[in-house]
Each structure stands twice: as C-alpha cells, then as structure tokens.
Amino acid sequence: MIDAEPLLRRMFDAALAAADPKVCLPPHLVTLAKAPCTGLTLVIGAGKAAAAMAAATEAVWAEHAPGAPLEGLVVTRYGHGCPTDRIQVVEAAHPVPDAAGRAAAERILELVRGLGPDDRVIALISGGGSALLTLPAEGVSLEDKQDVNRALLKSGASIHEMNAVRKHLSAIKGGRLAAAAAPARVYAFLISDVPGDDPDVIASGPTVPDTSTLADARAVLAKYAIVPPPAVAKALADPTFETPKPGDKLFDTVETVMVARPQASLEAAAEVARAAGVEPVILGDAIEGEAREVAMVMAGIAAQVARHDQPAAAPAVLLSGGETTVTVRGQGRGGRNAEFLAALAVAVEKRCADVADRIAAVAGDTDGIDGTEDNAGALFLPGDLERARATGVDLVEHLANNDGYGAFEALGRLLVTGPTLTNVNDFRAVLVLP
C-alpha cells in the first residue's frame, strides 16, 4: 500500500537536501581555503541561496583556514537571510527589484573595484540574483527597470528572455562584475536554477561572458509587445551598452564551478521513489513552456502509465524540473507551480477520469516561495476532485483566474516550507498508483 502524500513530501525534501549549500558547496571550497593568498579574500554574492552559501563558506574557513582573513557582502531575498560572522548579509526585494537591492549592488561593485592580482574574489551566485543584484545602467532609473521587470513577469517570457533584457540594462550583470574585479582572480560558485544550467543565465551571469545581445533584448520586448520607457529604449539602441562576450581576455582570471544542479535533485528524489517500490521516470530537468500546457502533457503521460504501463509500469512517478511560465490574465493568486497543479487537476478530470483516483502530484519551487505567495507549491491527491466538487471549489474557474493558490488553499493542499535557502528551480512529481 502506497501512501501518496508522505511519499511525495519525502521526494520533495530529498530534492531540497541535494541542493543544500551546507552539503553541496563545501567540497568545492576546501582546496581554495587551504591555498595561500597574499592579498584579500573577498566574498560577494547574490541570490536566494546567497546567505546560506556565505554561512557555508565561513564554516569551511573556520575549519580549514582559521587564521585567514575573510570578509564580504552578499544580497538575498527578504526572509532568506541567516546568521553570519564575517560576511555581511543584506536582504532586498524579489522578483521586482527595490532600492535595497540597488544599494547592495553598488556596494558590491565598490568592493571589487581596485583589487589587485594578489587578491581573490569568491562569488556566490544563485537563482534570484538577477532581481536582487540590480544596478541600472547609466541613464536608466530603478523605476524604469521595475516597470520593464513587471511587464516581463506578466508576459510569459522565459528566464532566458527576461535575463537578456536585464543584462543589457545593468551596470553589474552580464559579466560586468567580473570586469570590475579584474585583475583579481574570481572564483564563481553557482547553484543553477535555469533550464540547461547556463552560467550566463543564472542571476544574469554577473561573472561570465554574455551570449545574448542588445538585438536579442530588443527582440524580446517586441515579441511580447512591451513598450519600454524612453530611457530603456534609448539604452537598448546604444552600442556602448553591449555586454562583454565570450573570448574576452578579462575572463581569463575567472573560474566557474557549478555546485548544484536541478538534475541532482531529481536523481535524489528518484532514489526515494525506488526505496518505496516506485519506478522513477525522469522526464527532464529543463522543461519550459506555459505551466498549464506542461500540465496537460504530464496528465497524458500519467494516463498512459495507468492504462498501458508505458513508459513505465505503475506504481511509477514522473519527475521533472525546469521553469514553466504563466501568462497572467486573471486577478487570482499563485505562482507557476500552483498553476501547473490546477491545470493538471483539470486535465485529469476532463481527459483521464477513468484513472483519476490513481494520480497524485506535488509541484513546488525549491526556494520555498511559489511566485509571491507564502507557499512553495501544492499537492494534488486522490479524491481531491471529488472533494473540490463537494466543497464548491471550481478548479476550472480558479485556473481561468490564475488562482491556483486560492484553489489549493480551499482544499487544504498548499505546500508550505518557508524559505529553504537554496534554489534549483521547480520540482514536479506526478505519481501513478497501482
């Protein structure tokens, strides 16, 4: 007998544990901590995992280089901080940047400027850093960036598209932080939250060369019919706003290490499933697209497993990661994971009614916050469709209003973890019971 809810929770917890900075970062830091440094060791960083990464760095130095100097500054999302001794943690707004993020970015840029070849910079980069490390390019105001960011968030643009715009409106992203730190050696440690684990997309790539162009940024705004403020339009038409590209010698002193990836979290969840006698099928760690469309596909695959034992025999679980998008048309609450689950529930009821009582799922953002609400995501369990009908929860109506949060709040199925202090993007598990 498989109890769906605790099994789904264990898989989600295993995915989080695999990306815990206390676990994934230290092995990459020990050699660096033991290496002699005649200059300054400066720690800077940005992202939802930045504070936890800073704390892990301090712990490594305390154990392996107790007398060595260590200082710096990282910026993370409000509520995602944790205690540190030598590295200052600043909290700022996400996903729409604010003045606190701008001030932190200015200080970080000031800290790295003027460093010499004997100094080294440890850059702790994780998802969310793009909004948190906000420093508008010359002539562009914070309000301009906020307006463009809000429009992009509602448009359904992918993270690659959004960051192509953000990098070209920034004085610190798109490799510009590394440029400011030269000739100091930069060691960048990344926790990936993006499909494909592209370093130049994670937090808009402040320490790596940028593969996107001004033309790409303009094309994104045109694609989604976003009319930018005049200062933004002017900046995106100015060749001097182009970012450093691959092959630029300034990156010769930059070393980039990926310390956590979505795939590792999926594999950790798969091990939990196997231990429970459930066959895991990892569909991909880089799945993108509209949340409701991805949900429809997942429902179809789950039905295939339930009806035909393909591509695996039940009990089985379909595991996936990546970052879906939501084109906001309603006035409801909820992020992309609640939207995914609401759409999955609707698809199961409409197209898979014969096997509906055998399908369960969890979807959550590994940073603990789905969109702007207080939940990581939600759960969908056998019997929830009947429960919704009995309590008057119209899932179709909630979905039409982009109100996944409201739907699962009413059903008592919200997944609430609080900030997890890591971020390897979304985790989805669709369980097909025997």
Rounded distance, CA 40 to CA 275, Å? 47
Domain chopping of the chain, boundaries: 4-12+263-432, 36-260
DSSP string, 128-156: THHHHS--BPTT--HHHHHHHHHHHHHHT
The pTM of the full predicted model, rounded to 2 decimals, is 0.92
Matching residue, tokens 């948190």: 132
Percent of the chain with pLDDT over 90: 93
What pLDDT, on the 0 to 100 scale, is given for residue 372? 83
In the predicted structure, residue 109 carries a pLDDT above the cut 90: yes
Q: Per-residue pLDDT averaged across 53-62, rounded?
A: 98
In the predicted structure, residue 154 carries a pLDDT above the cut 90: no
Please state the separation of Cα 292 from the chain's center in Å: 19
Q: Per-residue pLDDT averaged across 283-311, rounded?
A: 97
Q: Are 298 and 380 in contact (CB under 8 A)?
A: no
In the predicted structure, residue 24 carries a pLDDT above the cut 90: yes
Lateral strand order in the sheet of 359-365: 279-290, 316-325, 426-432, 359-365, 377-380, 414-415
Q: Per-residue pLDDT averaged across 87-106, rounded?
A: 96
| Tens digit of each residue's pLDDT (9 = 90 or more) over 311-328 | 999 999 999 999 999 998
| CATH 3.20.20.70 matches 4-12+263-432 | no
Which CATH superfamily is 36-260 part of? Glycerate kinase, MOFRL-like N-terminal domain (3.40.50.10180)
Strand ranges, E, within 165-315: 185-191, 254-260, 279-290
Neighbours of 322 (CB within 10 A): 22
- Mean pLDDT, the chain, integer: 96
Pairing mode of beta strands 87-92, 71-77: parallel
In the predicted structure, residue 254 carries a pLDDT above the cut 90: yes
Q: Per-residue pLDDT averaged across 85-92, rounded?
A: 98
What pLDDT, on the 0 to 100 scale, is given for residue 173? 96
When mean pLDDT is compared across 147-161, 238-252, 255-269, 291-305, the lowest value belongs to 147-161
In the predicted structure, residue 195 carries a pLDDT above the cut 90: no
Q: Per-residue pLDDT averaged across 87-112, rounded?
A: 96
Per-residue confidence at 378, pLDDT binned at 50, 70, 90?
A: very high
Same topology for domains 4-12+263-432 and 36-260, yes or no?
Answer: no
